[in-house]
Amino acid sequence: MRRVSVFGATGSIGQNTLDLIARAPDDYDVVALTGGRNIAQLARDAVALRADLAVTAHVDLLADLQAALAGSGVEAAAGQGALLDAAARPADWVMSAIVGAAGLAPGLVALEQGATLALANKESLVTAGPLLMETARVHGATVLPVDSEHSAIFQALVGEDMAAVERVIITASGGAFRDWPIEKLAQATLEQASSHPNWDMGQRITIDSASMFNKAMEVIETKEFFGVQPEQIEVLVHPESMIHALVGFNDGALMAHVGAPDMRHAIGYALHWPERRPLPVARLDLAQIGQLTFRAPDPDRYPALRLAQEVMQTGGMMGAIFNAAKERALDGFIAGQIGFLDMAQVVEDVMTQLSSDNGLIRAGFTLDNVASADHLARIRADQVMADKTGR
Ligand code: NAD
Ligand code: MG
């Protein structure tokens, strides 16, 4: 039996992960499940999968979780410290599916135990790629990509030599507004930005797909995970979301990964790696699909892609600054404080403000330094938004 823990178990990736685990209950010994405010879901899953421990991120919900788990034999815990304790419990495979920068610290602790970390939390690589990869190396641990594009690249690289890779192409659906006239984007509402044409995901990543911040993060994620140069990474708009990524080799070959848009593929690949096992995902009928289409991303429509280039050129703590400013700008958009196009403007303003602070940007990759850069960027983002709205 493999010991598994799932961080962010109540979310979209977490629930898809539990779906796969629940299909083969005898194969897995569930150690810890974690969640946020959805206590009923967390308790229900922890009991059904006989987890040792369930953790909510919120201390004020401990009593609720304890009540929901009373008599079940599942331990209850709450708060940031409890999340790190849960990550320190021995496990063979740990799913990192908390959303946002909060996912970084538990992932690092899991790697320090030598666990295989299935990484859905792209923020870990955007904010602290070198720290995460180095922690894995030092502790003999493995990081496996779960983002669909990165799983696709990873699969296309099996048996290949990185020296033969010329370029990596990640596809983007173009999000909710890919066909909107550009003048209308400023008026895009929260509801419109929260529905994705092809994927069913958490609300935050869905809005990030509409703004292309998601793809911007994935470009940085590609650089950090695969160690390729920024100029080797391309983004291709592919509205059907059937091809998830392509790897171009020095002989001109392009290896594409084609599959239905269902995250259980990438999650399952990471769960069973290095084997392939049957997965309950749709089989594509390409004759029925008929055609797949591609276009170059329009830089005017998607300023986030340009900001990703700046992050990669600057390096250091700029990834943490970019991500934190983006998280606050997204909070501002969700709260109705700023408009859809303001998000990229807020992030750019914060990056510009902090880019000349060499002490901050060039601080080494430690969790403390990343947290400080994150903290400062959030404060600046809040100031920029307050100035914009005159509040
Ligand atoms: P989600 O919002 O559906 O779920 C997030 C989970 O994290 C929930 O369990 C929530 O309770 C928990 N959480 C939220 N804030 C927390 C905090 N501060 N501390 C501890 N726990 C917290 O998100 P999701 O769509 O499942 O995405 C999870 C991660 O996977 C994100 O980093 C996202 O970018 C990435 N990802 C998601 C998809 C997808 O299809 N949903 C695809 C690729 C990558
Ligand atoms: Mg993705």
pLDDT tens, residue by residue, 252-282: 999 999 999 999 999 999 999 999 999 999 9
CB 34 within 8 A of CB 65: no
Same domain, 177 and 123: no
User: Starting from the edge strand earliest in sequence, which strands make up the sheet with 254-258, in order?
Assistant: 233-237, 165-172, 243-249, 254-258
Q: Is 348 annotated as a binding residue?
A: no
Q: Which amino acid is at 153?
A: I
Same domain, 237 and 354: no
- In the listed set 239, 273, 289, which residue is the last one of a domain according to the structure? 289
Alpha helices in the chain (DSSP H): 12-23, 39-48, 62-69, 80-88, 104-112, 123-138, 148-156, 190-193, 203-211, 213-226, 263-272, 286-289, 303-314, 318-334, 342-355, 358-361, 367-389
Ligand 1 atom with the shortest distance to the CA of 120: 30
Residue 279: what pLDDT?
98
What are residue 277's phi and psi, to 5 degrees?
Answer: -130, 160
Q: Which amino acid is at 247?
A: V
Domain range for residue 341? 315-389
CB 308 within 8 A of CB 235: no
Same domain, 109 and 169: no
Same domain, 207 and 325: no
Exposed (0-12), middle (13-18) or buried (19+): which is 388, by Cβ within 10 Å?
A: middle
Residue 391: what pLDDT?
61
Report the nearest-CA residue for atom 2 of ligand 1. Answer: 202
Same domain, 252 and 335: no
Same domain, 140 and 7: yes
Same domain, 179 and 236: yes
Predicted-assembly ipTM surpassing the 0.85 threshold: yes
CATH number at residue 89: 3.40.50.720
Residue 368: what pLDDT?
98
Mean pLDDT for the chain?
A: 97
Q: For residue 29, what are the contacts with CB-CB under 8 A and spacing of at least 6?
A: 1, 2, 3, 4
Residue 24 is classified by DSSP as S
Pocket lined around ligand 1, Cβ cut-off 6 Å: 8-14, 35-36, 57, 97-100, 102, 120-123, 147, 199, 201-202, 204-205, 263
Nearest bound ligand to CA 215? 2
Give the pLDDT confidence of 99-125 residue by residue, as tens digits: 999 999 999 999 999 999 999 999 999
Residue 198: what pLDDT?
87
Q: Is 265 annotated as a binding residue?
A: no
What percentage of the chain reaches a pLDDT higher than 70? 100
Ligand 1 atom with the shortest distance to the CA of 204: 2
Give the pLDDT confidence of 223-255 residue by residue, as tens digits: 999 999 999 999 999 999 999 999 999 999 999
Nearest bound ligand to CA 202? 1
Report the nearest-CA residue for atom 27 of ligand 1. Answer: 99
Q: Is residue 310 part of a domain?
A: no
Q: Is residue 275 part of a domain?
A: no
pLDDT(199) > 90? no
Residue 390: what pLDDT?
80
pLDDT(196) > 90? no
Give the pLDDT confidence of 121-147 residue by residue, as tens digits: 999 999 999 999 999 999 999 999 999
pLDDT(187) > 80? yes
- Ligand 1 centroid distance, CA of 11 (Å): 5
Nearest bound ligand to CA 12? 1
Ligand 1 atom with the shortest distance to the CA of 10: 9
Report the nearest-CA residue for atom 40 of ligand 1. Answer: 201
Same domain, 189 and 319: no
Report the nearest-CA residue for atom 18 of ligand 1. Answer: 102
Nearest bound ligand to CA 96? 1
Count the domains in the chain.
3
* Residue 205: closest CA among 135, 264, 145, 148: 148
Mutate to test the pocket of ligand 1, among 6, 10, 12, 225 (most ligand atoms within 8 A of CB): 12
Same domain, 104 and 180: no
> CA-CA distance, 263 to 165, in Å (whole number)?
26
Q: Is 5 annotated as a binding residue?
A: no
> CA-CA distance, 50 to 74, in Å (whole number)?
7
Residue 197: what pLDDT?
83
- In the listed set 130, 145, 160, which residue is the last one of a domain according to the structure? 145
> CA-CA distance, 238 to 76, in Å (whole number)?
44
> CA-CA distance, 322 to 122, in Å (whole number)?
13
- Ligand 1 centroid distance, CA of 321 (Å): 19
Ligand 1 atom with the shortest distance to the CA of 201: 41
Residue 374: what pLDDT?
98
Q: Is residue 60 part of a domain?
A: yes
